[in-house]
Structure formats: C-alpha cells, structure tokens
Amino acid sequence: MEFLKHHYEKVCLGAVLLGLLAWCVFLGVSLKGVKEHIDTLGTQGVPTKVTPLPAFDPAREFVGLQALADSRTQWPRPMGEVTSMFNPRRYIWCMNPECSYVLPYDYEKCSDCKWPQGVGSGPHDPRVSSAKDGLPDLWKKKYLELFPDVTLYACNLDPDGDGFTNYEEYRAGTHPGNPASHPPYAVKLCFVQTDQTLLPLRLEKVSREGKTKAAWVLQFNVLEGNRRVTRFARLGETLAGFKLIDIVPKVMPVMDRSINMTIDKDISELTIQHGDEEPMVIRPGVAAYERGIKVRLALVRNPQEPGKYQVIDGIVGGEISVGIDKGPAEVYKIVEASANEAVVEPAGSAEGGKRFTISRFRPPTDLPPQLNASSIPGGPMMPPP
C-alpha cells in the first residue's frame, strides 16, 4: 500500500498504455481478417476491373443539337411535353381539317378524331401526307410550283410572306402563294390592355344650403398642372373646361360599419359638358373618365416568334388598320373592350356581321417569354381601376 501511495500516477499510466496496446493488437487482427475475406471474394469470380465509358464525342451529338434548334422539328408540341435535348420528338397536326389536334409524328391515327395519318388507299386519297406535316399530298400537288417535293416538311413555311403558314392557309382554304389570299388578319391579333383617361375634375361634395339648385355650392377636386386643388362652383359656371349644366339630387341608404348605423349616401348626378361634346354625368366621390376607351393590340406574325409583332393602338368605336408586309391591309372597327379582351369586326360590315374576340397571347410553354404590356414598345398602358 505504501508503494501505491508513492507511485499511484505511474501505475495509472501503465494501465492506460497496456489498454492501448491491446486495442492495437485487436485492430491488426481484424484488418487481417477483412483482407482475407476480400481476397476470398476475388477468387470466386467477382470482377476486379470496370470497363471504362467511351469518350464523349461532341460531333456525335451535333445532329441532335441541330434538330433541337430546328423549329420545324420541334413545334408544335403539346403543353407540358418534356423532350430529350439530344433526341427531340417530332409532332404534327392532325390531317383532319376539322380537328388540327397535335400528336406525335409516328402516330398512324389521331387520338382525338381517329382520322388516319399519312396513310390511305392510294395516291388520290386526300388523307395521304408523305411528310406527315398536316398538309395532304394532293393539296401540295395543287400548288406544285411551291411544293416540288411533297415529302418535305412544309407546314410552318410562309412562301408568299403574308404572315400565315402553309398549314393555316390549308385550313382556311386560301392560296399559299398569293399574298392577297389569306385568312382574316384578325386571327393574328392579340389583346394587350386597355386604358382610360381621368377627367381633370372630380365632384366631392354638394352643399344644399340654398332654396334653389342654382344657389347650391359644389365642391370639386381639380387637376391644375401637376397638383390637385379644391375648387368651389355653382351651376352655370365653367370649371376646368367643363360647363356645369344641371344636377339631380339623389340619396341612397347605406350601412356605415364604423358607427353601426344606416346613413344617406349622396349619389346626386351632375351633368357636365366639354365644348360641343355630348354631355356626361358624374357623381360625388366617384372618379370619372373621358369618353373613348383606349385599346392596345399586337399583331403577332408567327406564334413561334412572339418577339416579332406590330403594336396597334385604337379606341372603342374607332377603326384600326391591320396588315403584314405584303398584301393589302384590312380595316377593323373596335366594337367593345374589357380588361382582358376586345371585340372587332370588319369596317363597314352590316349589323350582326362576323366579329372576332381578341384575347391575350398565350404561347406554348416551350416558346420564348409571353408577350405582355411591359414588352410592348412605347411603355405600358394603365388599365382602368
């Protein structure tokens, strides 16, 4: 015991060293066993060499890259279709002019209308399309000077430069080589947005202190230069270029949630007139707009290239001229417009004639960015509130 008291630290250190030595011996034995096990697996036929992958050859993929860049082999594609970069899948339109469904190139029958694709009973079958591009061989032979080889893919071409592809001309029954023969340009229009200009004055309050309407005081918020100021006027006076003609007092009971009571809201109608224009009516606290809703449309020549377009501005009730490069322009009248679409009809058409609803442009997901107001030259137009 006396020995341990004097050599306690040395005894503890020796015990730790012995433990480390035992652990090293155990580790060496274990590693030897693992090595023997691996050697045993190698003698049982497990391959010890891996065949290297072939070197990447960019030239080998050049054809795939070219096909990817060629829009004729890439468009149209169904919405959301995922296509391999080096193995683009080709799509065609259905041969049936009443269907025009988009389907893979190798389909022998349309999955929508069941119309046979590129096959028939003979060369005079109107359903036969050697190129499988939606254009029948008989239709191409009708315009042989444009299609000397019916086996070539030609549905997206525009030989006459009128802005319509061969497929669009085929469906419309127009001449693909005559720039004056094409579907209506209205089908190429897309809606951008509308805009209305605020009047320079707004009726704020009507003070009915006099016995007659001529004595009533009308409070206005008037735009003068770059600021708005408060002005007071009476019937018969002129303010901001508008003559105050007459006022019809009206009230409407409404619930005021702040006091939980029903109050009478002033909805009087004030008739004003600017010069010789038709009189118009404004109400207290309600913003008023000038007549004539401004409409901005865009003429998109090719859905595959939405960046190439022509901006067309007009007003509801007015006329616009629409044309593309070759051929005479067409004149349309803007019948009506909302925040999301416009309606046009050929100028001079009889009441109840054909009208075209112009909606916003929505390209397929694989095409360039969507056309919007911010991409239109001249700056965006503010829609009405």
209 and 172 co-located in one domain: no
Token code pair at residue 110 = 């349309």
Neighbours of 94 (CB within 10 A): 21
Cβ-in-10-Å burial (0-12, 13-18, 19+) of 190 comes to buried
pLDDT in tens, 178-220: 888 888 888 888 888 888 888 899 999 999 887 888 899 999 9
User: What is the C-alpha to C-alpha distance for residues 202 and 298, in angstroms, rounded to an integer?
Assistant: 33
* Higher local confidence (pLDDT), 25 or 88: 25
Has residue 233 got a pLDDT over 90? yes
Residue 44 lies in a domain: no
Q: Is residue 337 classed as helix, strand or coil in its secondary structure?
A: strand
Chosen domain end from 183, 210, 235: 183
Residue 30 maps to a domain: no
Q: 314 and 191 share a domain?
A: yes
Q: What is the pLDDT of residue 284?
A: 92
Task: Tell me if 210 is assigned to some domain.
Answer: yes
Token pair for residue 123?
């060369």
Please give the pLDDT value at position 220.
Answer: 94
- My answer on whether 164 and 259 are in the same domain is no
Mean pLDDT, rounded, for 302-320: 77
* 324: pLDDT strictly greater than 80: no
Looking at per-residue pLDDT, the higher value among 272 and 15 belongs to 272
pLDDT band at 379 (very low <50, low <70, confident <90, very high): very low
Residue 18 inside a domain? The answer is no
Cβ within 8 Å of residue 188, ≥6 positions away: 163, 164, 299, 300, 301, 322, 324
Residue 41: per-residue pLDDT: 58
Residues 143 and 262 in one domain: no
Give yes or no for a cis peptide into 328 (omega within 30° of 0).
no
Residue 100 reports pLDDT greater than 70: no
Q: What is the mean pLDDT of residues 364-375?
A: 35
- Residue 43 within a domain: no
pLDDT for residue 381 is more than 50: no
Among 8-17, 68-77, 283-292, name the most confident range.
283-292
Q: What percent of the chain has pLDDT over 70?
A: 69
- pLDDT bucket at 234, cuts 50 / 70 / 90: very high
Predicted confidence (pLDDT) at residue 47 exceeds the cutoff of 70? no
First-residue to last-residue Cα distance in the chain:
100
pLDDT of residue 223 exceeding 50, the answer is yes
Q: Measured between alpha carbons, how far is 293 from 197 in angstroms, rounded to an integer?
A: 8
What's the mean pLDDT in 310-325?
85
- Residue 67, by phi and psi: left (phi above 0), alpha (psi -120 to 50) or beta? alpha
CB 347 within 8 A of CB 332: yes
Question: Alpha-carbon distance 53 to 378, whole Å?
Answer: 56
Pair (128, 257) in one structural domain = no
Rounded Cα gap, residues 204 and 285, in angstroms: 5
Q: What is the pLDDT of residue 163?
A: 79
Same domain, 76 and 172: yes
Instruction: Yes or no: say if 110 and 117 are a contact pair by the CB < 8 Å rule.
Output: yes
Tens of pLDDT along 346-367? 987 655 568 899 888 654 433 3
What sign results for the dihedral spanned by CA atoms 198, 200, 206, 210?
A: negative
Q: Are residues 69 and 175 in the same domain?
A: yes
The confidence score (pLDDT) of residue 221 equals 93
Give the separation between CA 326 and CA 313, rounded to whole angstroms: 21
- Pair 140, 268 in one domain: no
Compute CA distances 207 → 219, 266, 383, whole Å: 8, 11, 33
Pair of tokens at residue 81:
């279709």
Distance from C-alpha of 356 to C-alpha of 367, rounded to nearest angstrom: 25
- Per-chain mean pLDDT for the chain: 75
Q: Evaluate if residue 112 carries a pLDDT over 50.
A: yes
Q: Which of 282, 308, 330 is the last residue of a domain?
A: 282
Tokens of residue 149, six digits: 């080889």
Domain boundary among 153, 183, 213: 183
- The answer to whether residue 375 scores a pLDDT higher than 80 is no
Can you tell me the distance from the alpha carbon of 10 to that of 21, in angstroms, rounded to the nearest whole number? 17
Query: Mean pLDDT, to the nearest integer, of 77-96?
Result: 55
Q: What is the mean pLDDT of residues 56-61?
A: 52
The pLDDT score that the predictor gives to residue 219 is 93
Assign 79 a pLDDT band (cuts: 50, 70, 90). very low
Do 191 and 326 reside in the same domain of the chain? yes
Residue 385 contacts residue 195 (beta carbons within 8 Å)? no
Indicate whether 191 and 319 sit together in one domain.
yes
> Per-residue pLDDT averaged across 326-340, rounded?
83
Strand partners, 367: none
Please spell the DSSP secondary structure of 96-108, one letter per residue.
Answer: -TTT--EEETT-S
Q: Is 269 helix (H, G, I), strand (E, B) or coil?
A: strand
Tell whether 38 is covered by a domain.
Answer: no
Per the structure, the complete domain to which residue 330 belongs is given by 187-195+292-375
Measured CA to CA, the distance from residue 46 to residue 172 in angstroms comes to 68
97 and 154 housed in the same domain: yes
Confidence of residue 80 (pLDDT cuts 50, 70, 90): very low
Residue 93 shares a structural domain with residue 179: yes
- In-domain check, residue 52: no
Q: One-letter amino acid identity for 76?
A: P
Most confident of 13-22, 165-174, 237-246: 237-246
Q: Is residue 329 part of a domain?
A: yes
Total domains in the chain come to: 3
Mean pLDDT, rounded, for 90-101? 71
Residues ≥6 apart with Cβ < 8 Å to 381: 192, 193, 194, 195, 294, 296, 373
